[in-house]
Amino acid sequence: MPFSFFEIYTFVGVVALLVMLPGPNTLLVVQSAGVKGRTAGLFTVLGIMTAVYFNALLSSLGLTLIIAQSARLYGILKLLGAAYIVWLGLMSLIDAYRSHGLKEGPGLQNNAGRARASASSNLSSYSKGLLTGILNPKSALFFFAFFPQFMHHGQSILLQSIILTVCYSMVSLTWYGSLVMFVGTLRRFLMHPVTQSCLKTVTGLLLLGTGLKIAFQRS
């Protein structure tokens, strides 16, 4: 084992603090679980987990170093990520406006139609979690800048990277999964059309604000 218990404990503690900070991922998970249900929320978490391993792979291939050294490339990725988050916020606000005052009609769709809608919703939730993680250059740079602080020279870099990445992903899964379960317990209340509209509006505004903040903040 390349790491001591204390080193793993310290790493997990630092990662937990970073993951629990409110950000685009947290907003997406809460919105997905609150509006579409636990299954959609878990698919969003799965997308976030995929992005974690993707960014870890970029770091191991040295591509993160290229991003870090190229201000233009970093700026482009940052603006793409910000634009995507702004787009998610706008779509949420538009959806809230369209659904305002509408009542659900559960009997209008047959089982096959509901199954197709559910599959499409889950894929959309997964894609949102994945793209939000991939289009955030700070996530990729985190692995490049943070992981080496815990690695030991003379030992397998690959093995150490895998262990740290798995620890990071497990912390993320635990936190975001807990959010999904918590929001799921409020599902009956959240299913009310007025509550749904309010949730979409609030999370949409927060996503919009977060995207604009990322776009205009200095690197």
Gap between the Cα atoms of 210 and 138, Å rounded:
14
The mean pLDDT value for 30-49 works out to 92
- Enter the tokens of residue 204: 């949409």
- pLDDT of residue 104 exceeding 70: no
Q: Residue 179's domain spans which residues?
A: 11-216
Contact 42, 195 (CB under 8 A): no
Whether residue 6 is contained in a domain is answered as no
Residue 5 lies in a domain: no
Three-state secondary structure call for residue 4:
coil
Residues 84-96 have pLDDT tens digits of 889 888 988 888 8
pLDDT, averaged across the chain: 81
Q: Which of 57, 32, 36 is nearest to 129 (CA)?
A: 32
Q: Per-residue pLDDT tens for 154-170?
A: 777 778 888 999 999 99
Encoded amino acid at 44, one letter: T
What CA dihedral angle connects 122, 128, 134 and 140, to 10 degrees? -100
Amino acid identity at 183:
V
Is there a domain that residue 146 lies in?
A: yes
Owner of token pair 């991939």: 134
Q: Is residue 4 part of a domain?
A: no
Task: Among 49-53, 78-82, 86-90, 116-120, name the most confident range.
Answer: 49-53
Asked whether residue 108 carries a pLDDT value surpassing 90, the answer given is no
Q: Is residue 107 over pLDDT 50? A: no
User: Is the model more confident about 106 or about 64?
Assistant: 64
The answer to whether residue 172 is domain-embedded is yes
Enumerate residues 6+ apart whose C-beta is below 8 A from 209. Answer: 89
Using the predicted structure, report yes or no on whether residue 8 has a pLDDT greater than 80: yes
Q: What percent of the chain shows pLDDT beyond 90?
A: 26
Task: Return all residues near 164 (Cβ < 8 A) that are at least 6 apart.
Answer: 11, 147, 150, 151
Among residues 88, 178, 180, which one has the least CA distance to residue 133? Answer: 88
Number of C-alpha atoms within 13 angstroms, CB side, residue 74? 16
Task: For 19-31, write each residue's pLDDT tens digit.
Answer: 888 888 998 999 8
Give the model's pLDDT for residue 106.
Answer: 46
- The answer to whether residue 51 scores a pLDDT higher than 90 is yes
What is the Cα–Cα distance from 219 to 126, expressed in whole angstroms? 28
Number of domains in the chain: 1
